[in-house]
Amino acid sequence: NAGVTQTPKFRVLKTGQSMTLLCAQDMNHEYMYWYRQDPGMGLRLIHYSVGEGTTAKGEVPDGYNVSRLKKQNFLLGLESAAPSQTSVYFCASSYLERGDGYTFGSGTRLTVV
């Protein structure tokens, strides 16, 4: 099983550029999440989805958009990148009702210069 796959693994953007991060899961999970990880701040939820075609804002949604056109894919877009968006981005997925936690991808390290 591949689990959760994130692409790309690394990216450098110039301020104002846009990009899309792709997350794909093969576990038939209903829920999918995008987090960012910054030193000393743990994980902060950007956006999440409870099913195909639905998305919702998390704790730090500004500057990001998401889409979930297919159950297995969750895309995170940066419309106009800013240096404050330099971070490591993690995608995760989970079942609807079960309490057995999240499965995480290996992360995308994004630097905005």
Interface ranges with another protein (CB under 8 A): 4, 31, 35, 40-43, 45, 48, 50, 90, 92, 94, 96, 99-107
CB of 15 to another protein, least distance (A): 26
Name 51's bridge partners. Answer: 54
**In whole angstroms, how close is the CB of 76 to another protein at the nearest point?**
15
Question: In which order are the strands placed within the sheet that holds 4-7?
Answer: 4-7, 19-25, 73-78, 64-67
Q: How far apart are CA 96 and CA 71, in angstroms?
A: 13
Q: Smallest distance from the beta carbon of 65 to another protein, in angstroms?
A: 20
Rounded-to-integer distance, Cα 81 and Cα 18, Å:
6
Give 85 or 94: the residue with its C-beta nearer to another protein: 94
